[in-house]
Chains A and B, each alone.
Chain A
Amino acid sequence: MTIADLTKGESAVFINIHGGWGIRRRLEAMGLRPGIVITKISDQIFGGPIIIKVGKIEFAIGRHMARRMIVQRIGGLE
């Protein structure tokens, strides 16, 4: 499943992103590395960006990119 499939408030482990080396490196540099726990905060309406939280940091991620970010569910609602 991907970040786009998570429901609001759900946490998951980030596995990887479908994409080139460049984007993977960029995500990693920003702290989004495989194995880290993320929580989905909100969806924007009309297919806008998805907001996730990693530790204390919030990220805004475009919908298409979120669909390429593979995660593994770990539990229910926060």
Chain B
Amino acid sequence: MKTLLLMGNPNVGKSALFARLTGVHVVAANYPGSTVEYTKGYLKIKDERWEVIDVPGTYSLDPTSKAEEVAVRMLSQGDIIINVVDATNLERNLNLSLQLLKKRIPMLMVLNFWDETTHKGIHIDNVKLQHLCGIPVIPTTAVSGEGVKNLVEIIPSAKISSVKYSTKNRWNEIGKIVADVQVLEHKHHTIGELIGEATIKPFPGIPMAAVVLFLSFMLIWWIGESIKAFVMDPLFDFLLGPLLHNLSDVLGSGSVLHNLLIGRLMDGSIDFEASFGILTTGLYVPFAIVLPYIIMFYFVLSLLEDIGYLPRLGILLDRAMHIVGLHGMGFIPMLLALGCNVPGVMALRTIESKKARFISATLMAIAIPCWGQLAVIISMLGRTGPVGFTIYFFTLVVVWLGLGIILKRGVKGESLEIFSEIPPYRIPYIKALFKKVWMRMFHFLKEALPFVFLGIVVVNLLYMSGIIYILGDIASPVLTSLFGLPKETVGALIVGVLRKDVAVGMLVPLGLSFKQVVVASVILTIYFPCMATFLLLLKEIGVKDMLKATAIMIVTFLTVGTVLNIILSLLL
């Protein structure tokens, strides 16, 4: 089978084109570096199956980051290169194109964002360009699919260019080509450019950022809560509830199977939050409590991503990120981690310095809760008003900042400054946006459900076998004496290794006091990331650094738990 490589600068639309060619949807976004690992898919051209690889973007063939290294390594595997070029930035993109031409691999060039050239007043003679480069050139608008059919037909006629360029005078050569094929119409600033400049200046950029963030959180909150109250709760109460009651009668309360599937009955009936059976709490937590907020979180995140707002937010936050030894772009992985720590950890590959990567990984694992866990915490603490989660968030911010300041000083290595291209604002393509939200939601369910069920089984086994009481006694010096929590909280800590949302849910039947709920929520957030995140971190930053991070984690959670317990005991 022949292999097609999609290669080009960062943020030129390779992932959107990949999705169009293969039907495999990958998460694309409007900022450089959204693809950090290659993705494979397949394409059929005239009964022949081709392998298509979406390669992370690179500016040149001398890689400067981990993600770019992946790109250069892929080169040897390609039979044909599709060089994706941003038609609105011809000159810069051609720099990579000329380097690729020298590799003597059959190639063709795609001029993407073709639709944007029109309103930006850029006219490119693609036939002339084809002649000058010696390879087929096809204009496309990947996100809407325009030109893609044409591209597929032309792929087999990719060829090795016979045109010679001198590497030394590369920019001169490029300059000549650009002057030959491109005419720029003098246009006044487009609205996008004007907004682009306004949102990046301290004023009005910073107040605007505050408004955007506030509206985003309110939107997630309100709509998430509405979906839960008006869609999910009725479904569970009126549809699933009666069915499960019948099942409960058939199985007989107290039997092992009843315990696993339905859980314990509360006053003779099923309590979706507290029963802890696979079909009751096991479905209620992921679908009713977490999913509504996850959908909204990913909708807002995807929207901001596709518009191109995230890197601008990063620039505005640059100074603040320096406090913890990171720079502005380090903000994006943190934001992604707020959805789920796993994609957050993947995004750490875009961070250039080893020191910054270690600091980010440690801070993320300790002080960034995933949205699944947050949803349960919010729904649990929300019952007692806003005080509880104000304390919760405040504590996490203090931990994040405090730990970051210590790590910035304590970790060897240099912290690099920001140096990044800022993508233009783009109007999101609605179909692609919904597809992305759907993919992320599907990914959440696929990853979460097995662990949720496993977590529930573990809870039941711990209680049925009585092991929980033994472990509770072992853990009580820390849990009870230091944190002021009941021994049974140990169950939540054990399950939290598998799945944080279920673990937080386990606090509900324990009948904790307000102070205990707050302390337990904070501890469950910082003591350990979930297993999936831990294993990925191990792979990404290595055993040695992970051991260090784990040691930091243990010290932090013991300290924070104790201090918070003391402070809250004095205040409340």
CB pair B92–A49 under 8 Å, yes or no, is no
> In the complex, what's the smallest C-beta–C-beta distance from A37 to chain B, in angstroms?
12
Q: For this complex, into which size category does the number of interface residues on chain B fall?
A: 20 to 34
Complex CA gap A40/B64 in Å reads: 25
Most chain A CB inside 10 Å of its own CB: which residue of B92, B197, B424: B92
Which B66-109 residues have a C-beta within 8 angstroms of A? 88-89, 91-92, 95-96
Residue of B nearest to A41 (CB): B197
* Residue A77, interface by CB 8 Å: no
Complex CA gap A51/B424 in Å reads: 13
> In the complex, what's the smallest C-beta–C-beta distance from A21 to chain B, in angstroms?
10
Task: Encode B413-449 as 1/0 by CB contact (under 8 A) with A.
Answer: 0001111111010000000000000000000000000
Which of these, A31, A42, A43, A61, contacts B419 with CB under 8 Å? A61
* Residue B60, interface by CB 8 Å: yes
> In the complex, what's the smallest C-beta–C-beta distance from A68 to chain B, in angstroms?
10
Residue of B nearest to A47 (CB): B319
**Chain B residues with CB below 8 A from A42, complex form:** 197, 200-202
* Residue A29, interface by CB 8 Å: yes
Complex CA gap A59/B319 in Å reads: 16
**Chain A residues with CB below 8 A from B197, complex form:** 41-42
**Chain B residues with CB below 8 A from A28, complex form:** 60, 95, 171
> In the complex, what's the smallest C-beta–C-beta distance from B369 to chain A, in angstroms?
28
> In the complex, what's the smallest C-beta–C-beta distance from A6 to chain B, in angstroms?
15
Residue of B nearest to A62 (CB): B417
**Chain A residues with CB below 8 A from B315, complex form:** 44, 48-49, 51, 60
CB pair A51–B95 under 8 Å, yes or no, is no
Residue of A nearest to B312 (CB): A60
Given contacts A30-B421, A44-B318, A49-B418, contact A56 B202 (CB under 8 A): no
**Chain B residues with CB below 8 A from A35, complex form:** 171
Given contacts A29-B62, A42-B200, contact A59 B421 (CB under 8 A): yes
Task: Encode A55-73 as 1/0 by CB contact (under 8 A) with B.
Answer: 1111111111100000000
Given contacts A41-B197, A49-B315, contact A30 B92 (CB under 8 A): yes
Complex CA gap A63/B420 in Å reads: 13
Which of these, B59, B319, B416, contacts A44 with CB under 8 Å? B319
Residue of A nearest to B60 (CB): A29
Residue of A nearest to B316 (CB): A44
CB pair B64–A49 under 8 Å, yes or no, is no
Task: Encode A24-38 as 1/0 by CB contact (under 8 A) with B.
Answer: 011011110101000
* Residue A45, interface by CB 8 Å: yes
Which of these, A22, A44, A57, contacts B89 with CB under 8 Å? A57
> In the complex, what's the smallest C-beta–C-beta distance from A8 to chain B, in angstroms?
9
**Chain A residues with CB below 8 A from B25, complex form:** none
Which of these, B89, B96, B418, contacts A60 with CB under 8 Å? B418
Complex CA gap A60/B524 in Å reads: 38
CB pair B202–A44 under 8 Å, yes or no, is yes
**Chain B residues with CB below 8 A from A41, complex form:** 197, 200-201
Most chain B CB inside 10 Å of its own CB: which residue of A22, A47, A55, A62: A62
Residue of B nearest to A22 (CB): B64
Which B297-351 residues have a C-beta within 8 angstroms of A? 311, 315-316, 318-319, 327-328
Complex CA gap A64/B59 in Å reads: 23
CB pair A49–B59 under 8 Å, yes or no, is no
* Residue B354, interface by CB 8 Å: no
Complex CA gap A31/B318 in Å reads: 23
Residue of A nearest to B88 (CB): A56
Most chain A CB inside 10 Å of its own CB: which residue of B171, B328, B418: B418
**Chain B residues with CB below 8 A from A25, complex form:** 60, 62
CB pair B422–A31 under 8 Å, yes or no, is no
Complex CA gap A57/B120 in Å reads: 13
Task: Encode B183-210 as 1/0 by CB contact (under 8 A) with A.
Answer: 0000000000000110011100000000
Which B244-261 residues have a C-beta within 8 angstroms of A? none
Complex CA gap A52/B197 in Å reads: 10
CB pair B196–A65 under 8 Å, yes or no, is no
> In the complex, what's the smallest C-beta–C-beta distance from A41 to chain B, in angstroms?
6
**Chain B residues with CB below 8 A from A29, complex form:** 59-60, 62, 64, 95-96
Given contacts A22-B64, A48-B315, contact A60 B328 (CB under 8 A): yes
**Chain B residues with CB below 8 A from A33, complex form:** 171
CB pair B202–A49 under 8 Å, yes or no, is no
**Chain B residues with CB below 8 A from A61, complex form:** 417-419
Which of these, A51, A57, A63, contacts B92 with CB under 8 Å? A57
CB pair A26–B59 under 8 Å, yes or no, is yes
Residue of B nearest to A51 (CB): B200
**Chain B residues with CB below 8 A from A60, complex form:** 200, 311, 315, 318, 328, 418-420, 422
Residue of A nearest to B321 (CB): A48
Residue of B nearest to A25 (CB): B62
Given contacts A58-B422, A60-B419, contact A30 B59 (CB under 8 A): yes
Most chain B CB inside 10 Å of its own CB: which residue of A22, A43, A44, A62: A44
**Chain B residues with CB below 8 A from A49, complex form:** 315, 318, 328, 417-418
Interchain Cβ contacts under 8 Å between A and B, 29 examples: A26-B64, A26-B419, A28-B95, A29-B96, A31-B92, A33-B171, A35-B171, A41-B197, A41-B200, A42-B201, A42-B202, A44-B319, A49-B418, A51-B315, A51-B422, A56-B120, A56-B424, A57-B89, A57-B422, A58-B422, A58-B424, A59-B422, A60-B315, A60-B420, A62-B327, A62-B417, A62-B419, A63-B417, A64-B417
Measured CB to CB, the residues of A under 8 A from B are 22, 25-26, 28-31, 33, 35, 41-49, 51, 55-65
20 other A-B residue contacts (CB within 8 Å) besides A46-B319, A59-B420, A60-B420: A26-B59, A26-B64, A26-B419, A30-B59, A42-B201, A44-B316, A45-B202, A45-B319, A48-B316, A48-B319, A48-B328, A56-B88, A56-B424, A58-B421, A59-B421, A60-B311, A60-B315, A60-B418, A61-B417, A62-B318
